Chains A and B, each alone.
Chain A
Amino acid sequence: MNKNIILSVFFFTGIFVGIAGEKLQVDFSYPSLKGDFYVNGKASFPPGIVNSEENISIQDKQTGEEVPTKIIVVERWPDGSLLEAEILFPANAKRQRNYIAVCGSDIKRRKKFTQTAVLPIISASIGKTPQTTESIDMAVGELLVKVDKSPDIRYYWYALPMGILLFLTVYRAVRNVKG
């Protein structure tokens, strides 16, 4: 039974990890201006998925071409993996493209930049949490549930001899009283 619980937990967490750990949708509205601008947003990751900012890359969704990015680590999980990173990449209002953030230990960022030009910045949501009016799906990463087999449970077995002894005591007492 315990094994089944663990398997079930891994199955469900695996779905979330699959969605959140590999490709994150970058959502933003193209502004009414012309020319280049920066897209800026923060992305959150489950523990253990992204070890370094070098494991994140922004790609053109149609062509798969990598876009130069500037990534600043905001916070890390206790295991050292990235919890939150701020991502900045250039886009053009004229060439409207869709972008995705790809992350994972097998991803290597090749195009990056450090100095930013004076350009307008548009906020984006990266890996937006899927939600409906009733619920919010939160990716919590790999969830390890330890089911304690608790050796102390064996103490409950003492209830059996105790019950038998109590029953025998009462039975014998009644028999003795009745004679």
Chain B
Amino acid sequence: MKNRITFIRRIVQIISLVLLVYGGYIFKTRLHTETGKPLFPALKAPEGYMSTTKFKQGSILWPSGDNPVLENYPPSLVCRFNPKGGLFKACIFHFISENLTWQTHIKYLLPHLTLFILLCFLFGRMWCGWVCPIGTVGDFITAIRKKMNIPARRFPDGFKAGLRFSSYGIMGVGFFISGLIGIPNFARFQCYWFLPYCQICPARLICPLFGFIKPGWEDFETAITSMFTILAWFIMGIFLAAFYFGRRIWCHLCPVGLINSFFNKGAGIELKKKAVRCNKCGLCADACPMGLKEMYERNSDGVYNQNNCIMCMRCVEICPKEGCLSASFFGKKITESKLK
């Protein structure tokens, strides 16, 4: 098969999407635990603090379903605003923001964070390329553009660097506001500023649709919710445009991907290059959905897990030189480029 890795990736993406969004129905009876000593402590809003489960239907932060069945289970993976039956509680950004506001004791966060770090240590940012449901939606949009024979737009490196810089800003501001409104003196602002990034994240608008549920996308009740509504739509526009015109350009801006990217260079999954076999054809740089060029530019052997690499392995797949690029898991080779 010509694009074997891409084919496998698509299958994994579809299975992940189904599992993450509806998997709760499958695992509900097995994993849901209210008694005994759970490995992952339940994290709940203290009395008087805002919780997403307390918003009225139709408000901007109204979660689309009941509590996910694995309420007490790992953060990190999918949007909290997924339909009823979702498998996980929330993405890591939601998780950290929420618990900053609730001022949850660190000991209750340790199990959740440990699992998240374990996943990142094993797979790095592979999550973004293989599992993320928003990425899957984006890839679908990109596929539509491809079907229409519209070429992907190339963005300059400075632009991508600017997006990454912005994602640091989004992360910093999001966490700062979340922490600030957790201070009792500022608690009265929680009704407007709770989960500030979630309020503008495109996942909040997209995820409920998987459950045929209308997301809260038109909350103009107050000036602040109006601002968030407009911002959410603006960022949704950027999201759609980014995936339509520029493949995974959005992933440079995504703060969840940013957090995952901190672990990329030391992750178990590795992309290796044997420089002596490279003929500088540039196909790897051309095929990279993130528009990364480091793998192409490097002239020495080594592991090139770049921070922004989503480990889609498109470069390995496209490389025409036998054994030039390879992907391995803790040194054990998974796949390598084949002679074409």
Contact = CB atoms under 8 A, between A and B. Distances in A.
Interface string B5-41: 0000000000000000000000000000000010001
A158 B300 contact: no
Interface stretch (B71-79, B110-118, B238-246): B110-118
A117 to B, nearest CB: 60
Given A172-B266, A173-B266, A176-B305, A156 B110 contact: yes
Interface string B101-120: 00000011011011001101
A161 interface: yes
Chain B interface SS verdict (over half): helix
B266 A158 contact: no
A30 to B, nearest CB: 60
Interface stretch (A7-15, A130-138, A147-155): A147-155
Interface residues of B, number: 22
Nearest to A162: B114
B297 interface: no
Contacts of B236: none
Nearest to B40: A155
Interface in B143-182: none
B301 interface: yes
A12 B329 CA distance: 62
A28 to B, nearest CB: 52
Of A154, A169, A174, A177, chain B has the most CB atoms within 10 Å of the CB of A169
A166 B120 CA distance: 10
A171 interface: yes
Given A152-B108, A161-B118, A179 B267 contact: no
A174 B118 CA distance: 18
B71 to A, nearest CB: 17
Contacts of B300: 179
B139 interface: no
Given A161-B118, A162-B113, A155 B266 contact: no
Contacts of B263: 169
B107 A155 contact: yes
Contacts of A151: 37
Interface of A: 151-156, 158-159, 161-162, 165-166, 168-174, 176-177, 179
